[in-house]
Chains A and B, each alone.
Chain A
Amino acid sequence: MSGGAGFFDIPSDLQHSYAGLIGIHMQEAMIPVGIGLAVALPLGQLCVRFRWLYPPVLWVTTVLYAIPSLTFFVFLIDYTGATRTTVMIPLTVYSLVVLVPAIVDGVRSVPQDTLSAATAMGLGPVQRYLQVQLPLAVPAIIAGLRVATASSISLVSVGALIGNQGALGNLLQDAILYHRSNLALNSVVTIAVLAVLTDIVLVLLRMALTPWLPRSGKAAGRAARATAVEPSTEAALLEDAAS
């Protein structure tokens, strides 16, 4: 079934080399996460500041996350055409809705005593946010980022359905077109490896940013689980929903 061509022989209709596809894939996956984080940080802080804002935001978040990517993509075709933007807009929304609860819960989980101590030392609201709340919320934020990147990297491939905007996902369409199963396998394996590598980078980043947290595998696992559990039901749902 593999039709003779090698594992890394990319059909010419994709107009990119294997490495090029990886580059496009990561670009399509990570730009939305970056924009999502940039929007989620102030939005999350607003939700912490004005508590009444959080429940409705959480509701909107849950509903938006439930909208299937395919629906999102095809709705957007009418406005942004079959382009990369069409793929990246939904991914931005998904990243945003994963990150907001993670940030809110992370910032909220900073003990009141710690905040009072910071205030008592004379830190203003901005300093307090940058020097105390944000650093202590890093584990929760990274946990959110891990979910957002994994889901983003996986969902880019669905973009293939709306006219070859799926980067490595386009290999899947070509696999069907040319009856080359090794292209499908290549796509799945490459995407999985990219997701795992990104995950590892994020874990390392967390360790670098939070040197005060336990290092040992077991303790770190426990800490990671603790941050995964602390969020409300909805946040826990969002964290676990991505795959």
Chain B
Amino acid sequence: MSLFQFISDFFRDNANWHGAYGIPHRLLEHVEYSLIALGIAAGIALPVGLVTGHTGRGGNALALVATAARALPSYGLLVLMFFWLGLGLTPVMIPLVALAVPPILVTTYEAMRTLDPAPVDAARGMGMGPAAVLFQVELPSALPLVLSGLRSAAIQVVSTTAIAATVSLGGLGRFVVDGLYQQNYTIVVGGATLIAGLALVTIALFWLVGRFVVSPGVRGRR
């Protein structure tokens, strides 16, 4: 039986499309968890990255944070949080946010650091205030890199949220974890396909957003 057979069996099974254990519900759960984690991470990392990048301070501290975060295994962290904080959303959100912050933080910082200083100087020279310089000059130029940071964070979150099913959270990971437990390979592969699909949709979405919000003048330069 080929992989594709499993996949088509999974999606053809009517039972997989309904109720709290159905695909739509699990998908919504997954998206919801991912969005919450990404939102919190962006809320922390974007301002910090913008400010540190703008002032140029704390670069070494950021490098340390990034290295440390890279070293921490997210799966291990999930299990550890489950032990320390029990079941629920919070113990899952902590590893997910910890996972998503570094890419956003580092890319935002680097995006701000590597901006061409000339337009910023020109903007100040023509009488723009600090906020105008940030939002009208620096951010539009930094946007591609900032978006790429957000994108990689989003992909990591989508992929790790699946593992969160091992500590009894919902989402598409449930199919995989439950399927492995029941030794039902159809469900395992079906769930895995859905997770991969969601990750790819995430890439596509970010690509689309980039098309719309990044100026052709900035995009074309690359």
Which A positions have Cβ atoms within 8 angstroms of B? 1, 62-63, 65-71, 74-75, 77-78, 147, 150-151, 153-155, 157-158, 160-162, 169, 172, 175-176, 181, 184-185, 187-188, 191-192, 195-196, 199, 217-218, 221-222, 224-225, 228-229, 232-234, 236-238, 240-243
Contacts and interface: CB of A to CB of B under 8 A. Distances in A.
Given A243-B70, A243-B72, A233 B203 contact: no
27 contacts: A62-B203, A63-B203, A66-B159, A66-B196, A66-B200, A66-B203, A67-B196, A68-B192, A70-B173, A74-B180, A75-B189, A77-B188, A78-B3, A147-B70, A153-B71, A154-B74, A172-B76, A176-B166, A188-B72, A188-B77, A191-B72, A191-B76, A192-B71, A217-B60, A236-B110, A240-B102, A243-B156
Contact of B159 (A68, A169, A222): A68
Nearest to B152: A241
Contact of A154 (B6, B73, B193): B73
Nearest to B78: A172
A172 B195 contact: no
B69 interface: yes
A70 B175 CA distance: 11
Given A63-B200, A67-B199, 6 more contacts: A66-B203, A68-B159, A157-B76, A181-B83, A191-B72, A240-B106
Contacts of A161: 163, 166, 176-177, 180
A74 B114 contact: no
A240 B59 contact: no
Interface in B147-192: 148-149, 151-153, 155-156, 158-160, 162-163, 166, 173, 176-177, 180, 185, 188-189, 192
Given A63-B203, A66-B155, A70-B195, A229 B110 contact: yes
Given A66-B155, A68-B199, A234 B73 contact: no
Q: What 6 pairs between A and B have smallest CB-CB spacing?
A: A68-B159, A195-B71, A241-B152, A181-B83, A188-B76, A71-B192
B158 A221 contact: no
B80 interface: yes
Measured as residues with beta carbon below 8 angstroms from the partner, the interface class of chain B is 35 or more
Given A71-B192, A75-B3, A243-B70, A233 B75 contact: no
Nearest to A154: B73
Contacts of A242: 70
Given A1-B83, A224-B63, A74 B192 contact: yes
B52 to A, nearest CB: 12
Nearest to A70: B162
Contacts of B60: 217-218, 221
